[in-house]
Amino acid sequence: MNLKALYIPLFLFFSFSLTGCNDSPEEREITSEEIQQETAQLNAFFEEEFQKDLEESPMLQTRLGIKTDYDAWDDYSHLRYAEDLEKARRRLDFLKKEIDPEVLEGQDALSYELYRQELENEIEDYDFRLYNYPVNQMFGVHAELPAFLINMHKIDSVSDAKAYIARLNKVPQVMEDVITGLELREMNQIMPPTFVFAHTVEASQNVLAGRPFEKSTEASALLEDFSEKVEQLDIPEAQKNELILEAQEALLTSVKPAYENLIAKLEDQQQRATNQHGVWKFPKGNKFYETALKRTTTTDLTAEEIHEIGLSEVARIHKEMEDIMEQVGFEGSLQDFFKFMREDEQFYYENTEEGRERYLTEATALINTMKGRLDELFLTKPEADIIVKAVEPFREKSAGKAFYQRPALDGSRPGTYYANLYDMEAMPIYQMEALAYHEGLPGHHMQLAIAQELDSLAMFRKLGGYGSYIEGWGLYSELLPKEIGFYEDPYSDFGRLAMELWRSIRLVVDTGIHSKKWTREEAIDYYVQNSPNAESDAVKMVERHIVMPGQATAYKIGMNKILELREYAKKELGEEFDLREFHDVVLTNGSVPLNVLEELVVEWVQIEKTS
């Protein structure tokens, strides 16, 4: 498997559909010795292949707290695609020839099926290996490299500082490989639409803002980060100054020309870009989108079915919002209420440092309050802590509204809820509760930290993930607190509905753009007309849909499935239904496709009914 998929931001995962997971084998007598032997062989294989992938990924090593290749970047060359394909074929061949799945039990049997299906999907998707935009406003090497150094590269010694400098000096090779990939995609008629280039050029230029790139009283983001980390070392001042001078030299002689080359390539391609926004413009674009939806939702839902689900959910939530309008005594239409919520000053903190600090303080307080109520909802809780941080200035303008970063496996780094406070008008107070619950507790932190801490899971399952499960749980976690008395302020409850509405609109718009050939402007207008969010929110989301086809459908499809399974369990178990046990089933098997989650819940229900 390509481990790059294991450490990119959560919202980027293309998940894997799974079929036939529990096909009943022919009955035969299996000894405990056979089970132990086959299980040991499978887990040894998983560990061996994980270590091979880890050895090939210096960046994953760093994320896991390993400093073996602390001075290196991953291989960004397009030549890796063929190597990864061969690796997937070899691994699949081993699974099919050397492992007998009929002998496996429990998590080992599930791990076998998940791993096998991942490999089959990777092989099947090879034809679409170039069907993405490696540099875009949501993610890309231009933002990934500085964010990685700032957030992941710790400096605990002089050798760590030297490794940081070495990474700076190796940025040109990374950029050269990425530029080659951009050229290769253009040759295959795959290039972002025009608007993307303005974002990526500006974001790349931001990395080169400040000293030593230009005369300024302020240091660049990278120089400031390096200097602050080196200042913490217990070494002579002269040695600190020497290291900082070395970093400045690397920034000027390696990082600056590398980014200038990337900017030049982006500006060159911008001249040939078009305003066609959907992937229908690609060769075999419709087939690619069909595959993207399947991988993202882990279902066989078509674009048309997903579009219709979205329209239905939008209508339902609008009705619930009208009920809140009545509750607060607002007179006027739903659109009038949306305008009121968008424009009234009471719903926004000031666009100042004080306003941003207040937001972070209150978001932290919401998560801390939820910590005290977790026992009512969960049997298993994460050991890792969670903190709230603002998105860093160098990437805040183009980054998403909020996102979560997993804790380090070794416990050296807590889970982090990042709030993007660049535009405070895009972060209304009435949505603060739902956003904190989604990204923090009981949302992604609850889910992903627990998965990493499960001894029973193979490493690829601890670090991997399925978008519909991960984001489905996040959206479900916005609703869950309401059921134990949170959202006392009706405006906050409106905010919860606004967030769910937003994810429902995504179903309509994503499919609208990529299947129905909606324009960017039509898509933005649908968001503005049907939600209370700021227009800047709508623009960002539509542009996200365009560069990440299918990804945003995961949230609502996943939430609907979790709620459907919960209602099934409630109906089947009656008074014996325990919400905490249901959550244990959902969370203590790690991230799984939705049809596997269904099988796990059904199995649990049947066991509970017979016990």
In this predicted structure, the answer to whether residue 27 has a pLDDT above a threshold of 70 is no
pLDDT in tens, 111-137: 999 999 999 999 999 999 999 999 999
pLDDT-derived band at 19, boundaries 50, 70, 90: very low
Radius of gyration of the chain (CA): 24
- With b for 16 or more beta-carbon neighbours within 10 A and e for fewer, the 551-572 pattern comes to bbbbbbbbbbbbeebbeebeee
Phi, psi of 402 (to 5 degrees): -160, 150
User: What was the pLDDT predicted at 21?
Assistant: 45
- With b for 16 or more beta-carbon neighbours within 10 A and e for fewer, the 207-225 pattern comes to bbebbbbeeeeebbbbbeb
Distance CA 370, CA 359 (A): 17
Distances (CA, A) of 341 to 157, 286, 345, 445, 532: 51, 38, 9, 29, 6
Distance CA 263, CA 180 (A): 13
Distance CA 443, CA 476 (A): 8
User: What was the pLDDT predicted at 7?
Assistant: 30
SS3 140: strand
DSSP assigned state of 356: H
User: What was the pLDDT predicted at 5?
Assistant: 36
User: What was the pLDDT predicted at 456?
Assistant: 87
List the alpha helices (DSSP H) in 137-187.
141-152, 158-169, 171-187
User: What was the pLDDT predicted at 408?
Assistant: 86
Averaged pLDDT, 525-543: 92
**Whether the model pTM is above 0.85:** yes
Lowest mean pLDDT among 198-202, 424-428, 518-522: 424-428
Answer whether the bond into residue 442 is a cis peptide, omega within 30°.
yes
In this predicted structure, the answer to whether residue 8 has a pLDDT above a threshold of 80 is no
User: What was the pLDDT predicted at 11?
Assistant: 30
Averaged pLDDT, 307-334: 98
Distance CA 441, CA 382 (A): 10
Domain assignments of the chain as residue spans, ordered by start: 3-130, 141-274, 288-557
pLDDT in tens, 399-417: 778 999 999 888 888 999 9
User: What was the pLDDT predicted at 403?
Assistant: 93
Distances (CA, A) of 12 to 228, 466, 550: 31, 10, 10
- The percent of the chain in helix, strand and coil, each rounded to the nearest 5, is 65, 5, 30
User: What was the pLDDT predicted at 398?
Assistant: 67
pLDDT in tens, 568-580: 999 999 999 999 9
- The overall average pLDDT reported for the chain is 93
Distance CA 451, CA 9 (A): 17
Helices 554-573 and 579-587: crossing angle, nearest 10°?
140
pLDDT in tens, 344-393: 999 999 999 999 999 999 999 999 999 999 999 999 999 999 999 999 88
pLDDT-derived band at 26, boundaries 50, 70, 90: low
Lowest mean pLDDT among 158-162, 396-400, 451-455: 396-400
User: What was the pLDDT predicted at 156?
Assistant: 97
Phi, psi of 219 (to 5 degrees): -80, 150
Distance CA 4, CA 19 (A): 24
Residue 389 burial by Cβ neighbours in a 10 Å radius (0-12, 13-18, 19+): middle
User: What was the pLDDT predicted at 511?
Assistant: 98
In this predicted structure, the answer to whether residue 189 has a pLDDT above a threshold of 70 is yes
SS3 407: coil
Averaged pLDDT, 168-192: 98
pLDDT in tens, 63-86: 988 999 999 999 999 999 999 999
What is the arrangement of strands in the sheet containing 415-419, beginning at the earlier edge strand? 386-390, 415-419, 402-405
Comparing CA positions, the residue from 261, 365, 332, 301 lying closest to residue 515 is 301
In this predicted structure, the answer to whether residue 20 has a pLDDT above a threshold of 70 is no
